[in-house]
Structure 1
Amino acid sequence: MSRRTRLMTLLMPLCLIVSGALAGQSYAAQSVTAVYYSQGHAITVVTKSDGTSHVFVATLADGAKTPPAAGSGAVIMEPVECSIGGAYAHGQLCGVNRVRWSGWHPTIYFIDYTGADWPVYEAAVVWNQSTALNVGYRGPWACPGPGYNCVDVNALNYYDDCGPSAPPNTWVGCTDYTISGLTIVDANIRIDTGFTSNLANNQKVTCHEMGHALGLDHNVWNDSCLYYAPRMSTTVNPNWGDFAMLEDIY
C-alpha cells in the first residue's frame, strides 16, 4: 500500500453508534458520563457499576436530530492532532491512550447474521488487508468459542434505541462495545434495514461499522468508508489513512 504525503488534519467526530443494547434496555441504574454530538452522529458513554464503559456510537439517519440525554452534559468534540491521513482512532484518542482489542496482531471475527443485502464478507476481506491484525469472517453461530474476539453483525428493522441519545428510527448503523481500561472486551454491530439502500451504499455502511468495531473513529476524507456520512463516501473501502491508523494502534 503506497504512503501518500501526510494530509492536513481536520476535526470530524465519531460516526456510528456502537451498541449491543437490547430493545427496551434501561439505563436508569447506570451513569451517562458524556454525550457527544457532531454532524450526523451521536456518541454516548455509559459508565457501568463494574467500572467498565459502554460506548454507543450512532450514525443518524438523514435529517434526524436527537436531544441530549437527561442528566448528561452535551458537548461538541474539539479538534485533536492525532490523525494519520485524515483517519482517527476511537474517541480521537492519542498514542498509548488508544482503545484496542488485546494481544499482538489480534484476530477479530465478524459473525454474519445479516443476509445477502449486507456484504459483510466482502468488507471483511478488505479489512483483512491490514497487516496490523487479522480479520476473519464466519457465518451465524460460528464464533470459534469463548475467549475469541467475535463481533456479531445483525441487520433487522429495529424499533429500539442505540444508546440513550439515539432513539428508534433515528440511526442507520449502531456499533456498541464494552471497554475495560483501554481494552475492547466485547462489540456488536446492528444495521437498521429500514434504511436499506443499494448494494454499494449498504457496503459503505457495513465497512464503516466494522471499522469502528476494530477501534477506528471517522476519517475526514470522503475517499474512505469511514467518512462521517458513509453513504456520501466515494468508495466502499477504507483508505490508506485507515490502514495506517490500525498500524499505529496495534
Structure 2
Amino acid sequence: MRLAKRFAAIGAVGVLTAVALTTSSNAQPAEPVAAPAAAATDSDHDTVYVTGKDRAGNLTVTIYDPAKGVTPDQLRDQLRRSGVTGVLDKGETPPSSQPNQSTQPKALACLSSGTARQWCDHQWDYGSYNDPQIYFLDSSSSAWPVVASVTEWNRATGIDSYWKSGSSSCPTGVHCVTVASGAYGATGWLGLTSWTPNTQGPVSVHLNDSYTLTAAEHRTVACHELGHALSLNHNTSTSSCLYSGTYISLVPNADDYKLLPLIYPLAGT
C-alpha cells in the first residue's frame, strides 16, 4: 500500500506546522518541507534503554523517549528516582536474547543508512509474505494521530504497516503492535516502545497524555514511537520524526525510508 498524491506541504525551520494529505478515503497530514538537517553525532542522541519482564517472565527492552527539555541523562535519573529498575547507563548495550535460552542466537547486523539507525537485534520475520505485515492495534486517545503516522510509515518499501482499532483482534499470520495512551504522569517521557528480545513480540507503544502538546507535537511523537516498533532507533537529523529531543519533523526522512528495505530486503508484494 502506498499513499496517493499530496496537495499541501510547507514548513519552516524550528516551527511545527500542521499540514494536510489527501488519500482516496480521507484527509491526512502530509510531509512538510524538511528543515535543514542538524549536524549531530550518535552520542548526542543516546537512547534510554530499560530492561524488565513481561507477565510471562520474559525479558523486555524498552526505549523511553524524553519529554521536551529533558536530556537522556536526566530521564535516566528521574526513572531511577521514581523506582524504575533496569535502567541502563549511557552507552550500555541492551540484551538481545532471553537469559534462559540454551543457545545464544547469532547477533543480527546492526544497519544504518545516512542519518538513520536500526534498533540493533530487533527485526520482524516475513511469515508467509514478501514483506513483514505489521498491524498497529490503536486504543490511544483522539489526541494522538496514530492512523496518520501509520499511513506515513506504509510509504516505506520492505515492510507494510496497517492501522486497526484497538478493540480488534490481531489477524492470523501477521505481527501486531498494541498502541495505548494514558495519563502516566510527569515522568520525564512522552513515549515508550517495548520489545521482547529475540522474539516476534509482543511489542507495545505507550503515549503519555500528561504533557500539554500541540497537534503537531502529538503527530511527531506518534510517528517516532511507531518507527521504533518497526525496528528503527534514533535518527541524527532534524528532518526525521525519529530525531530525539526535538519536535520539528512530523514524518520519517529519506534515510528512514532507505534503511527499512535494507533491514527487510526481500522484494515487496
Shared fold by TM > 0.5? yes
Of 37, 43, 54, 2:49 maps to 43
Counterpart position of 2:22: none
Q: Which is richer in strand?
A: 1
1:101 aligns with 2:124: yes
Question: How far apart are residue 185 of structure 1 and its match?
Answer: 1.9
C-alpha RMSD of matched pairs (Å): 3.0
Residues 1:66 and 2:42 are matched in the alignment: no
**Alignment partner of 2:204: what SS?**
strand
Whether 1:139 aligns to 2:165 is yes
AA paired with 1:76? G
Paired position in structure 2 for 1:212:
228
**TM-score, with normalisation over the residues of structure 1?**
0.69
1:48–1:207: structure 2 CA closer, same or farther, 3 Å change rule? closer
Indicate if the aligned counterparts of 2:182 and 2:209 stay in contact, CA closer than 8 A.
yes
Tell me: higher relative CO, structure 1 or 2? Use CA pairs within 8 A at least 6 residues apart: 1
Q: Which amino acid aligns with 2:253?
A: N
Could you tell me how far 1:128 is from its partner in structure 2?
0.3
Offset at 1:70? 6.2
Cα distance in structure 2, aligned partners of 1:71 and 1:108: 28
Q: Larger radius of gyration, structure 1 or 2?
A: 2
Write the letter of the residue equivalent to 1:200: A
8 Å Cα contact 2:132/2:174 also seen in 1: no
SS of residue matched to 1:217: coil
* Aligned residues with identical type, % of pairs: 26
Equivalent-residue separation in structure 2 for 1:48 and 1:152 (angstroms):
14
Paired AA for residue 45 in structure 1: T
170, 186, 195: which is aligned to 1:177?
195
Q: Following TM superposition, by how much is the alpha carbon of 1:42 offset from its aligned partner in structure 2, in angstroms?
A: 1.8
When residues 241 and 77 of structure 1 are mapped into structure 2, their CA distance, relative to the original with a 3 A threshold, is farther
CA deviation after TM superposition for structure 1 residue 75, in Å: 3.7
Q: TM-score, structure 2 length as denominator?
A: 0.65
Q: Give secondary structure in 2 for the equivalent of 1:224.
A: coil
Deviation at residue 51 of structure 1 after TM alignment: 9.0
**SS where residue 143 of structure 2 aligns?**
coil
* Number of equivalent positions: 199
The one-letter amino acid paired with 1:11 is D
Indicate which of 238, 247, 254 corresponds to 1:222: 238
Deviations 1:21-55 (A, max 9, x none): xxxxxxxxxxxxxxxxx3xx521234789895311
Q: Secondary structure at the match of 2:166?
A: coil
Write out per-residue CA displacement over residues 133-189 of structure 1, whole angstroms, 9 at most, x where no aligned residue.
Answer: 110001122133455311111111015xxxxxxxx6221101111122xx4321111
Counterpart CA distance in 2 for 1:202 and 1:49 is: 29
Q: 1:170 to 1:113 in 2, by over 3 A?
A: same
- Residues 73 and 142 of structure 1, relative CA distance in 2, 3 Å threshold: closer
Alignment deviations for residues 197-237 of structure 1 (CA, whole Å, 9 cap, x no partner): 111110000000000000000000000000012xx242200
- 1:119 aligns with 145
